[in-house]
Amino acid sequence: MQESPTDVPIRDEAIRLGQLLKLANIVEDGAHARAVIQGGEVKVDGEIETRRGRQVAVGSVVELAGASFVVVAE
């Protein structure tokens, strides 16, 4: 059974994927974010995303290592 996604509040309407992973404390730093994204380990709205600069909008669901996170407005 999959757990419900964890909310990650952001100030703006969208955030870059690499920044989101750091904000949610999913990765330690930008280098770690780049490694997991380029390695095809991150999904945005169910699709593998390999661009660290991808804009992730409020309402999007990001998945990594079996955990999921939903972007919400602050």
Please report, for the domain that includes residue 37, its CATH number.
Answer: 3.10.290.10
Kindly state whether residue 62 falls inside one of the protein's structural domains: yes
Answer for the pair 10, 71: CB distance below 8 angstroms, yes or no: yes
In a domain, 1, yes or no: no
- pLDDT tens for the chain, 74 residues long, are 557 899 999 999 999 999 999 999 999 999 999 999 999 999 999 999 999 999 999 999 999 999 999 999 99
Quote the number of domains for the chain: 1
Q: Is residue 24 part of a domain?
A: yes
How would you classify residue 26: left for phi > 0, otherwise alpha for psi between -120 and 50, otherwise beta? alpha
Is 20 a member of any domain?
yes
pTM for the whole structure: 0.91
Torsion angle, alpha carbons of 34, 39, 49, 64, to 10: -90
